[in-house]
Amino acid sequence: MEKRATFGSKIGIVLAAAGSAVGLGNIWRFPTEVGENGGAVFIIIYILCVVLIGMPLMTAEFIVGRKTHKNPVDAYRSLAPGTGWVMQGILGIFVAWIILSYYSVVAGWTLQYLISAVTGKVTTMSDSAAYFTHFTQSAWMPLVMVAGVLLMSHWVIVHGVQGGIERYSKFLMPLLLLIIAVLVGGSFAMPGSDEALRFMLKPDFSKINGDVLLSAMGQAFFSLSVGMGALLTYGSYFTDDAKLMTTARKVVVIDTLVAIMGGFIIFPAVFSVQTVAPDAGPGLVFITLPSVFQMAFANVPMVGWVFAVMFYLLLLLAALTSMISLHEPVTAFLIERTGLSRPVATTVVTVTCILLGSLCSLSFGPLADVRFLFGMTFFDFFDFISAKIIMPIGGILLSIFVGWYLPKDMVIKELTNNHTLRFPRWLFVSFFFLIRWVAPLAILAIFIDELLF
């Protein structure tokens, strides 16, 4: 069995964990949520939710992981031997595997659009909706893209913790942030930038209602990748001197910054053409934005080409950092529970996800008529059981486990690195209040809203 590794540096810890949190949701879902929920007021509520819900949950996962230095299943088994808590670890492994499978479909779309952007198709296509439909309904090309993005994550995971995850996080995350900075600068030069800035920075508090609050809580919960074993697994690779709350704070800042910058990229382009609503929905990045790029840069097509290439490269990088963090928990579990070598375990995960991802991809085309519960396709079914069922349940159970089940002294010992760090008492009181009461009740509200409405 492979000797358990650790991250080699503090910056590696932060960038790897940030890579887990930063994903397509930051650049795709966040701007959509902002557009649908009133702009700046949503951003304010979202930031509050991230601080009050996301950060405590992330810290809780780090505690379980670093305390045990084990995969999710063995982590709960060692902290709660002979109890049913091991199911929490099993759910984490299962949901990471399922999400990686269907997430690779959308990640594959970003790879296709990056290739199309490089070849000039994105900025010259006459009907972006028809292009998207033709591609996603194809019987084979989307499968190639699914395999392509999964093999990219495979390449990183097979090289291990320091040689793979940490090394490539140190490359991918700075590159991602650099591209964001360049794209934001380009967006601010567009005619619609003033209106976009007002939309994102000038709150209209009259738009606050229950739907906006629930949407902000849901985005904060799903954006940070809590409740699916990824952060727990990364936490198990933390060194004993890693500062858990400090790491969680830095990851939350990076994740939130990327999300807001994603809005600063998209909304100036949207407002500059005056024909697209800021709440255009999930089709924004694949159907709407190609037309926006064409119209916004009609007089300087080369700039439009550069903007499109960089934007879809950004999407691909964001997808890959999340895929790596989803791949590792399942791989680590196989290594530690079966004794498989890392190359073999990584291959098992990659191959099974290619097969499941292919089924999800084909549900947009040849398998569109194959239906499951409530008439859902493969893709919709995988999304439903993971995002709407298992992840919220996992988040609630994580809150209960760390907040109520684990001895309080053990939790404090982890937070203070065996009492070598000094924090004011109010910080611990706040952490336990948030993890015991605020986080589980908020996730329960998200769970009910996602399930019933």
> What is the DSSP secondary-structure string of 177-228?
HHHHHHHHHHHHTSTTHHHHHHHHHS--GGG--HHHHHHHHHHHHHHTTTTS
Q: How confident is the model at residue 278, as a pLDDT?
A: 59
The answer to whether residue 183 scores a pLDDT higher than 70 is yes
Taking phi over 0 as left and psi of -120 to 50 as alpha, with beta for the rest, 82 belongs to: left
Per-residue pLDDT averaged across 235-262, rounded? 96
Structure tokens, 392 = 């919220």
Q: How confident is the model at residue 1, as a pLDDT?
A: 43
Q: How confident is the model at residue 92, as a pLDDT?
A: 96
143-159 pLDDT, tens digit per residue, is 999 999 999 999 999 99
Structure tokens, 44 = 């304010």
Structure tokens, 451 = 């399930």
Cβ pair 269, 289 in contact under 8 A: yes
Cα separation, 161 vs 2, in Å, equals 11
Cβ pair 64, 79 in contact under 8 A: yes
370-394 pLDDT, tens digit per residue, is 988 788 999 999 999 999 999 999 9
Distances from the Cα of 34 to the Cαs of 179, 201, 267, 327, in angstroms?
Answer: 21, 11, 10, 29
Cα separation, 113 vs 97, in Å, equals 25
The answer to whether residue 279 scores a pLDDT higher than 60 is no
The answer to whether residue 365 scores a pLDDT higher than 50 is yes
The answer to whether residue 139 scores a pLDDT higher than 70 is yes
- 295-307 burial string, b = 16+ CB within 10 Å, else e? ebbeeeeeebbbb
Per-residue pLDDT averaged across 62-81, rounded? 97
Cα separation, 171 vs 163, in Å, equals 12
Cβ pair 228, 69 in contact under 8 A: no
Q: How confident is the model at residue 203, as a pLDDT?
A: 94
The answer to whether residue 242 scores a pLDDT higher than 70 is yes
Q: Alpha helices, DSSP H only, in 22-140?
A: 24, 30-36, 40-49, 55-68, 72-79, 86-118, 128-136
Q: What is the pTM of this model?
A: 0.95
Cα separation, 30 vs 75, in Å, equals 32
Q: How many CB atoms lie within 10 A of CB 370?
A: 13
Cα separation, 254 vs 298, in Å, equals 33
Per-residue pLDDT averaged across 201-230, rounded? 92
The DSSP symbol for 284 reads G
Cα separation, 383 vs 213, in Å, equals 22
Distance of CA 130 to the CA centre of its chain: 28
Per-residue pLDDT averaged across 68-97, rounded? 97
Per-residue pLDDT averaged across 172-185, rounded? 94
342-363 pLDDT, tens digit per residue, is 999 999 999 999 999 999 999 9
Cα separation, 134 vs 101, in Å, equals 22
- Domains belonging to the chain, first-starting first, are 10-452 (1.10.4160.10)
Q: Of 129-133, 141-145, 225-229, 277-281, where does mean pLDDT reach its minimum? A: 277-281
Distances from the Cα of 93 to the Cαs of 149, 210, 234, in angstroms?
Answer: 20, 33, 13
Amino acid in the structure at residue 276? V
Q: Any residues with CB less than 8 A from the CB of 78 and at least 6 apart, and which? A: 68, 70
Q: How does the average pLDDT of the chain come out, rounded?
A: 92
